[in-house]
A = this chain, B = another copy of it.
Amino acid sequence: MPNAKLLLQYDGTDFHGWQIQAEARTVQGVLTDVLSRLEHRPVTVHGAGRTDRGVHAHGQVASVVLTREMSETEWQRALNANLPPDVRVMAVEFVPPDFHARYSAVSKTYRYTLCLGPVLSPFLYRYAHHFPFPLDLAAMREALEAIIGEHDFASFGTRERAGKTTVRRVYDARLWCEGDLLHLEITANGFLRYMVRTLMGTLCEIGRGRWRASDMERILRARDRREAGPTFPAKGLTLLRVRY
């Protein structure tokens, strides 16, 4: 009974997020259906990160225990032959039984993409948020320094259930340009819900000059969601990779 690690890509546009739901099309739901059909029994699929509705993945990881005698390559082919084209299994790897996509994860990297140009290409509108305004990148980069390290990110997330910590450790955060796209990439040991989207919204307030770079530290220390900027739309967000 091998434990399998699945490397997944999906276009989140037509999914109601990762997490399985009775009435909505979700990535975990679609995967669970196909795996259960191939295994002739109900299976449970664990995902590294619960991406929200409309969020994409370049490197989501799922784990599942499989019983059919097939090789890694045969599993990959069988899955891709049965999954819809907006989810793909990029690799299947048999891993030790204690591997768990969520609990074994050491860090995750998310990317948020803005299009700063005057026109948002019809080939990108599903994957980037249109923000055609001049931005002070130097100020945004200075502000970004403040989030590196271990902090309470309560100002940037939805409230967690009682007893759940809002402290996360950010290992790396950077802004980089590619043509008229601006990417924010953040690697952390975990993320609060809406954290990257609200960080991007806050950075853009600083980039437009409404707030100063130094306000980022004040907002962090406030631990109050009302202090931060807007939560940017889901479609600009992609789960890039998960490290174990």
Residues of A within 8 A of B (CB): 9-11, 56, 76, 80, 85-90, 119-123, 125, 127
* B122 contacts A85, C-beta separation under 8 Å: yes
A121 and B87 CA atoms in complex are apart in Å by 8
Contact pick for A88, options B11, B88, B122, CB 8 Å: B122
A10 and B113 CA atoms in complex are apart in Å by 20
Q: Give min CB distance, A25 to chain B, whole Å.
A: 14
Q: Give min CB distance, A151 to chain B, whole Å.
A: 32
Q: Give min CB distance, A176 to chain B, whole Å.
A: 19
Q: Give min CB distance, A53 to chain B, whole Å.
A: 16
A30 and B119 CA atoms in complex are apart in Å by 18
A131 and B87 CA atoms in complex are apart in Å by 18
A32 and B119 CA atoms in complex are apart in Å by 20
Copies in the complex: 2
Taking CB as reference atom, which chain B residue is nearest A87? B122
A28 and B48 CA atoms in complex are apart in Å by 44
* A9 contacts B86, C-beta separation under 8 Å: no
| Complex interface: chain B residues within 8 A of A88 (CB) | 119-122
Q: Give min CB distance, A30 to chain B, whole Å.
A: 12
20 A-B pairs (CB sep. < 8 Å): A9-B121, A9-B122, A9-B123, A10-B122, A11-B122, A11-B123, A56-B123, A76-B119, A85-B120, A85-B122, A85-B125, A86-B122, A86-B125, A87-B122, A88-B119, A88-B120, A88-B121, A88-B122, A89-B119, A123-B127
A90 and B121 CA atoms in complex are apart in Å by 8
A80 and B88 CA atoms in complex are apart in Å by 33
A87 and B88 CA atoms in complex are apart in Å by 27
| Complex interface: chain B residues within 8 A of A123 (CB) | 9, 11, 56, 127
A122 and B56 CA atoms in complex are apart in Å by 10
Q: Give min CB distance, A3 to chain B, whole Å.
A: 22
User: Residue among A10, A122, A127 with the most chain B CB within 10 A?
Assistant: A122
User: Residue among A56, A88, A89, A123 with the most chain B CB within 10 A?
Assistant: A123
A228 and B76 CA atoms in complex are apart in Å by 34
Q: Give min CB distance, A124 to chain B, whole Å.
A: 9
